[in-house]
A and B are shown apart, each in its own frame.
Chain A
Amino acid sequence: MEKKRDFISKKEPLVSRENRKTVGYPNVENPRMTCRNVNVYYGDKQAINDVTLDIGRNEVIAMIGPSGCGKSTFLRCLNRMNDTIDFCSVVGNISLDGKNIYDKDVDVVPLRAQVGMVFQKPNPFPKSIYENVAYGPKIHGFVQNRTETDEIVETSLKKAGLWEEVKDRLNQPGTSLSGGQQQRLCIARTIAVGPEVILMDEPCSALDPIATARIEDLIDELRENFSIAIVTHSMQQASRVSQRTAYFHLGDLIEVGSTDQVFLNPLHQLTEDYVTGRFG
């Protein structure tokens, strides 16, 4: 890290807007997930151009960029959520712990258990709070009886910081909670399956600042056990929660680096335009 700072402090001239090659540090030591030369197409239209990026262990990596830049598309490639879109195709190599998740012999069901996802709009199942959390462990067969289920529900809700608020009304529908609570319920639901990586697609965009702050604190705590990739529109949020930041622009990964560096000393002209608010 020290070395990087020295490099930045020299304040070299910014890379010009026309150059779309990724600048910064896309690679980390001992990564959890590695993405190499990922291209995504929606039919004929290319949505992601040749993205190479690592996701490290116990880190929060934020993906920022203007609307339509492909950050959500990229995030959804990481647990193959794009499979559900018929005309979407992914080319390249995305590996989880060294295994390419797009290999023919990889089953998406266990993959999605390893790489969980939290969505933009809180989307609890229209079932009870308890069932929402217990659903994942149940279908994967992690739990055999009621006691084990109770235990996993309690620990998941505790990790998601929701236990104290809902412990007396676990049988009420998950949809009866407030927006922020619903989103934490969705996080608890994801944690209950025991993933290695959690993907978050603008998890706070539908929430008020107080609920957002709670989720951000939670993300920080979760970093101890999980790798987290978060897409966000809020640069403040990215700077608050993440250790590394990746800036996307029109399908290109423009710059990756430590959050401090990207926000304070961006290397690329486009990144500087965006983080200083001149653009986007």
Chain B
Amino acid sequence: MSETNIDIVNKGLGKRYRAEKRFRIYGVCAIAASLIFLAFLFISISSTGYTAFQQTFIRLSVYFDPEILGDTTNREGLASANFPAIVKQSLFKMFPEVQSRGEKKQLASLISSGASYYIRDMLIENPDFVGETIQVWLPADDDVDMLIKGHSDRGLVEAERRLNDRQIDWIQQLEKDGSIEKRFNKIFFTVGDSREPELAGIWGAASGSFFTMVITLLLSFPIGVAAAIYLEEFAKKNRWTDIIEVNINNLAAVPSIVFGLLGLAVFLNFFGMPRSAPLVGGLVMTLMTLPVIIIASRASLKSVPPSIREAALGVGASQMQMVFHHVLPLALPGMLTGAIIGMARALGETAPLLMIGMVAFIVDVPSGFTDPATALPVQIYLWADSPEKGFLEKTSAAIMVLLTFLIAMNALAVILRKKFEKRW
């Protein structure tokens, strides 16, 4: 009995501290690993995507030739006017030595095939340009764009390049004149999809996502919160509410593509709603988000201390007054957080949208809930699937835009929680 209690404690002390130290090291390793993965994700996406925010433009002296244009004072005249010829003519004027038909074609391919639309839009805005010569920056073709941005290697043998030696000579000449430069890519942020990478923009998909999210928020938040309040505060706890609760929890775990199929069967085939429309997308997303919001709202209602409920009932508040005057304000931050996280999940969801036709190639920017549209994640999927090299950076840029939205939404959730959180 020479060993006292304190000796036993001291003997075991080292082991205890070692265990704690080991655990701390595990924790630090876990954090470091997740940060490395995250950093890798962000760096790889940004490094390929940031170039998409700039676009190569070529400066041309465009002569609005009345002979080529014809009558441009009315709609029909504008529609039939040969704007591509105007662009080509201006380009050929810069390189008078180019004469053969084949070379002319090669030269013309340096400029984006969409350039003529910009010329047309200019003329519509300024009808008095006819007969005048204007300096215009027009988007270059995506092959030129890739070369200028350094994504294509000039040192490759000619056969392996998208641009031949003559075309590279012309580009070098343009570079020497300062007639070719990278500028901020306004196109990317203002237009819809296109087959040409240099003319493709994210705005169509972003508006599609926006309309879809509006429908989702308007439907899922009120319905979800009302369902949660009823189940948590008013419904009697019996077998039926148990069954409902289990089913809601199960719904939250259902793969999203199943909701897509449901939307296809119910909304499109049964109710005959328009295909590819944000309205249907929003409805499907609502079905998907609803269980998440209900679960989050119920959890935040549960976390309101019973003492507040008793206090309200004790002064004679009715059940509903208790809920709406006291419980709901305290539970609202948690509900908002749940809703925003559910919305963020819906914003990043692709699979159900494929099922209801929001994967179509849609050039126009949707202007309403029933216009054909696509969504940001679907646009990423579509671009990632495209063979043109120019879409590689567009894909990454679109991911950056989507991530920016997601981070903004999560930040909003944090801010709202901090703002409305009350302590008691």
Contacts and interface: CB of A to CB of B under 8 A. Distances in A.
Contact of B314 (A119, A126, A140, A175): A119
Contacts of A236: none
A121 interface: yes
A93 B305 CA distance: 31
A125 interface: yes
A116 interface: yes
Nearest to A80: B313
B423 A125 contact: no
A11 B326 CA distance: 54
A136 interface: yes
Contacts of A86: 236-237
Contacts of B308: 123, 125-126
Interface size class of B (residues with CB under 8 A): 20 to 34
Given A86-B237, A125-B326, A175-B424, A112 B313 contact: yes
Given A81-B314, A125-B326, A119 B307 contact: yes
Nearest to A124: B311
Given A125-B308, A126-B424, A113 B316 contact: yes
8 closest A-B pairs by CB:
A113-B316, A123-B307, A136-B315, A117-B314, A112-B316, A123-B311, A126-B424, A126-B422
Nearest to B309: A84
A79 B316 CA distance: 10
B254 to A, nearest CB: 30
B315 A135 contact: yes
B277 interface: no
Contacts of B422: 126
18 contacts: A81-B313, A84-B310, A109-B316, A109-B317, A116-B315, A117-B314, A119-B314, A123-B308, A123-B310, A124-B311, A126-B423, A139-B316, A139-B325, A140-B316, A175-B423, A186-B311, A189-B315, A193-B315
A125 B312 contact: yes
Interface string B285-320: 000000000000000000001011111111111100
B314 A121 contact: no
Contacts of A123: 305, 307-308, 310-311
B310 A119 contact: yes
A197 to B, nearest CB: 12
Contacts, number: 68
A190 interface: yes
A84 B237 CA distance: 12
A280 interface: no
A112 B315 contact: yes
A139 B314 contact: no
A157 to B, nearest CB: 15
Nearest to A192: B315
B180 interface: no
A170 B330 CA distance: 21
A81 B307 CA distance: 12
Interface string A156-194: 000000000000000000010000000000100110110
A190 B315 contact: yes
Quick one: which of B307, B315, B317 has the most chain A CB within 10 A?
A: B315
Nearest to B310: A119
A28 B238 CA distance: 42
A247 B332 CA distance: 44
A118 B330 CA distance: 21
A86 B239 CA distance: 13
B321 interface: yes
Contacts of B325: 135, 139
Contacts of B307: 119, 121, 123
Contacts of B236: 86
A121 B315 CA distance: 16
Contacts of A84: 309-310, 313
Contacts of A139: 315-318, 321, 325
Interface in A90-137: 109-113, 116-119, 121, 123-126, 135-136
B378 to A, nearest CB: 44
Contacts of B321: 139
